[in-house]
Chain A
Amino acid sequence: MVKKLMLSIVALLMLFPAMAFAADEGPSTGLLNMGLNSVWIIVAFVLVLLMQGGFILLETGSTRMKNAGHVAGKTIFTIGLCTLIYWAFGYGIFNGGADISEGLRKFIGWGDFFYSPVTSAGEGDSFPSTAFFLFQLAFATISLSIAWGGFAERAKLSVYLVFTIFFTALVYPVIAHWIWGGGWLAEDGAQDYAGSTVVHLTGALAAMAATILLKPRIGKYNKDGSANEILGHNQVFSALSVLLLWVGWFGFNAGSALSVGDGFFGFVAFNTMLGAGAGTVAAMLVSWAISGKADISTTLNGALAGLVAITASCAFVDPWAAVVIGLVAGVLVFFSTKLFEKLRIDDPIYALSVHGAAGVWGTLANGLFATDELATKVGVGQGGLFDTGSWHQFGVQLESVVVCGLYVLIVSFIILGVMKLVMGLRVTEEQEIVGLDLSEHGTYGYPEQMKKAQNNNIQA
Chain B
Amino acid sequence: MSDPQRLQLLRSINEAADADALRSSRDHVNDRMASKRSELPIDQFYTELNEAYDAIIIRAISLAEAHMARVGMGSPPVPYAYLLFGSGGRGEQTLSSDQDSGLVYENEPNAEKAEANRNYFAQLSKQVVIVLERLGFPRCEGNVLSDNPSWSMCLSSWNKQLDDWFEQPSWEAVRYLLIVADGRSVHGTSSLLDRMKDHFFANMAKHPNIVGRMLENTMRHKVLVGIFGQLLKERYGEDTGSIDMKYGAYIPMVNAIRLLAIQQGIRSTSTLERMKALHAANVLSEEDAQSYGQAFQLFLQLRLMTTEKLERGMYANNGKLAVRSLTREMIEQLKKGLRIGKRLQRRIIKETSVRLK
Q: Is A226 within 8 A of B238, CB to CB?
A: yes
Give complex CA distance A292, B241 in Å. Answer: 14
User: Please, which residue of chain B has its CB at the minimum distance from the CB of A295?
Assistant: B235
Residues 402-460 (chain A) with a chain B CB within 8 angstroms: none
Q: Is B230 within 8 A of A226, CB to CB?
A: no
Please give, as numbers and ranges, the residues of chain A lying within 8 Å of B239 by CB-CB distance: 226
Give complex CA distance A292, B227 in Å. Answer: 8
Q: Is A289 within 8 A of B237, CB to CB?
A: no
Give complex CA distance A291, B222 in Å. Answer: 12
Q: Is B227 within 8 A of A291, CB to CB?
A: no
Give complex CA distance A292, B222 in Å. Answer: 9
User: Please, which residue of chain B has its CB at the minimum distance from the CB of A338?
Assistant: B235
Q: Is B236 within 8 A of A291, CB to CB?
A: no
Give complex CA distance A292, B338 in Å. Answer: 14
Residues 218-248 (chain B) with a chain A CB within 8 angstroms: 222, 224, 226-228, 230, 232, 235-241
Q: Is A226 within 8 A of B227, CB to CB?
A: no
Give complex CA distance A292, B224 in Å. Answer: 8
Please give, as numbers and ranges, the residues of chain A lying within 8 Å of B228 by CB-CB distance: 289-290
Give chain B's interface secondary structure class: loop
The smallest beta-carbon distance between A385 and chain B, in angstroms, is: 30
**Chain B contact residue count (CB 8 A cutoff):** 14
Given known contacts A289-B227, A292-B226, is B238 in contact with A224 (CB within 8 Å)? Answer: yes
Q: Is B241 within 8 A of A226, CB to CB?
A: yes
Q: Is A291 within 8 A of B224, CB to CB?
A: no
The smallest beta-carbon distance between A219 and chain B, in angstroms, is: 11
Please give, as numbers and ranges, the residues of chain B lying within 8 Å of A226 by CB-CB distance: 236-241
Please give, as numbers and ranges, the residues of chain B lying within 8 Å of A291 by CB-CB distance: 226, 232, 235
Give complex CA distance A292, B238 in Å. Answer: 20
Please give, as numbers and ranges, the residues of chain B lying within 8 Å of A227 by CB-CB distance: 235-236, 240
Q: Which of A222, A226, A290 has the most CB of B within 10 A?
A: A226
Residues 273-299 (chain A) with a chain B CB within 8 angstroms: 289-292
The smallest beta-carbon distance between A221 and chain B, in angstroms, is: 10
**Among candidates B224, B226, B236, B240, residue contacting A289 with C-beta atoms closer than 8 Å:** B226
Please give, as numbers and ranges, the residues of chain A lying within 8 Å of B227 by CB-CB distance: 289
Q: How many A-B residue pairs have CB under 8 A?
A: 30
The smallest beta-carbon distance between A317 and chain B, in angstroms, is: 30
Q: Is A229 within 8 A of B238, CB to CB?
A: no
Q: Is B226 within 8 A of A290, CB to CB?
A: yes
Please give, as numbers and ranges, the residues of chain A lying within 8 Å of B226 by CB-CB distance: 289-292
Please give, as numbers and ranges, the residues of chain B lying within 8 Å of A229 by CB-CB distance: 235-237
User: Please, which residue of chain A has its CB at the minimum distance from the CB of B241?
Assistant: A226
Is A228 located at the chain interface by the 8 A CB criterion?
yes
User: Please, which residue of chain A has its CB at the minimum distance from the CB of B225?
Assistant: A292
Give complex CA distance A229, B230 in Å. Answer: 22
Residues 199-250 (chain A) with a chain B CB within 8 angstroms: 222, 224, 226-229
Give complex CA distance A317, B228 in Å. Answer: 33
Q: Is A222 within 8 A of B238, CB to CB?
A: yes
The smallest beta-carbon distance between A57 and chain B, in angstroms, is: 24
The smallest beta-carbon distance between A348 and chain B, in angstroms, is: 14
Please give, as numbers and ranges, the residues of chain B lying within 8 Å of A290 by CB-CB distance: 226, 228, 230
User: Please, which residue of chain B has its CB at the minimum distance from the CB of A220?
Assistant: B236
The smallest beta-carbon distance between B192 and chain A, in angstroms, is: 43
Give complex CA distance A290, B222 in Å. Answer: 14
The smallest beta-carbon distance between A129 and chain B, in angstroms, is: 51
Please give, as numbers and ranges, the residues of chain B lying within 8 Å of A228 by CB-CB distance: 236-237
User: Please, which residue of chain A has its CB at the minimum distance from the CB of B236?
Assistant: A229
Give complex CA distance A229, B237 in Å. Answer: 7
Give complex CA distance A151, B228 in Å. Answer: 37
Please give, as numbers and ranges, the residues of chain A lying within 8 Å of B232 by CB-CB distance: 291-292
Please give, as numbers and ranges, the residues of chain B lying within 8 Å of A224 by CB-CB distance: 238
Give complex CA distance A289, B227 in Å. Answer: 6
Give complex CA distance A222, B238 in Å. Answer: 7
The smallest beta-carbon distance between A394 and chain B, in angstroms, is: 31
Please give, as numbers and ranges, the residues of chain A lying within 8 Å of B236 by CB-CB distance: 226-229
Give complex CA distance A224, B241 in Å. Answer: 12
Give complex CA distance A227, B237 in Å. Answer: 6
User: Please, which residue of chain B has its CB at the minimum distance from the CB of A223?
Assistant: B238
Give complex CA distance A290, B233 in Å. Answer: 10
Please give, as numbers and ranges, the residues of chain B lying within 8 Å of A289 by CB-CB distance: 226-228
1/0 contact string of B206-225 vs chain A (CB within 8 Å):
00000000000000001010
The smallest beta-carbon distance between B31 and chain A, in angstroms, is: 28
Give complex CA distance A226, B240 in Å. Answer: 6
User: Please, which residue of chain A has its CB at the minimum distance from the CB of B235?
Assistant: A291
Please give, as numbers and ranges, the residues of chain B lying within 8 Å of A292 by CB-CB distance: 222, 224, 226, 232
1/0 contact string of A292-318 vs chain B (CB within 8 Å):
100000000000000000000000000
Please give, as numbers and ranges, the residues of chain A lying within 8 Å of B230 by CB-CB distance: 290
Give complex CA distance A227, B236 in Å. Answer: 5
1/0 contact string of B121-155 vs chain A (CB within 8 Å):
00000000000000000000000000000000000
Give complex CA distance A391, B318 in Å. Answer: 55
Give complex CA distance A229, B222 in Å. Answer: 22
The smallest beta-carbon distance between A174 and chain B, in angstroms, is: 39
The smallest beta-carbon distance between B81 and chain A, in angstroms, is: 41
Give complex CA distance A226, B320 in Å. Answer: 15
Give complex CA distance A292, B252 in Å. Answer: 15
Give complex CA distance A205, B235 in Å. Answer: 26
Give complex CA distance A37, B232 in Å. Answer: 53
Give complex CA distance A291, B248 in Å. Answer: 13
User: Please, which residue of chain B has its CB at the minimum distance from the CB of A292?
Assistant: B232
Residues 264-323 (chain B) with a chain A CB within 8 angstroms: none
Please give, as numbers and ranges, the residues of chain A lying within 8 Å of B237 by CB-CB distance: 222, 226, 228-229
User: Please, which residue of chain B has its CB at the minimum distance from the CB of A225?
Assistant: B240
Q: Which of B228, B235, B237, B238 has the most CB of A within 10 A?
A: B235
Q: Which of A227, A229, A291, A292 has the most CB of B within 10 A?
A: A292
Give complex CA distance A224, B224 in Å. Answer: 24
The smallest beta-carbon distance between A338 and chain B, in angstroms, is: 8
Residues 19-34 (chain A) with a chain B CB within 8 angstroms: none
Give complex CA distance A222, B236 in Å. Answer: 10
Give complex CA distance A361, B149 in Å. Answer: 64
User: Please, which residue of chain B has its CB at the minimum distance from the CB of A226?
Assistant: B240
Known: A226-B240, A289-B228. 7 other contacts (CB 8 A): A222-B237, A226-B239, A227-B235, A228-B237, A289-B227, A291-B235, A292-B224
The 30 listed contacts between A and B (C-beta, < 8 Å) are: A222-B237, A222-B238, A224-B238, A226-B236, A226-B237, A226-B238, A226-B239, A226-B240, A226-B241, A227-B235, A227-B236, A227-B240, A228-B236, A228-B237, A229-B235, A229-B236, A229-B237, A289-B226, A289-B227, A289-B228, A290-B226, A290-B228, A290-B230, A291-B226, A291-B232, A291-B235, A292-B222, A292-B224, A292-B226, A292-B232
In the A-B complex, the 5 residue pairs with the closest CB atoms: A226-B240, A229-B236, A292-B232, A289-B227, A292-B226
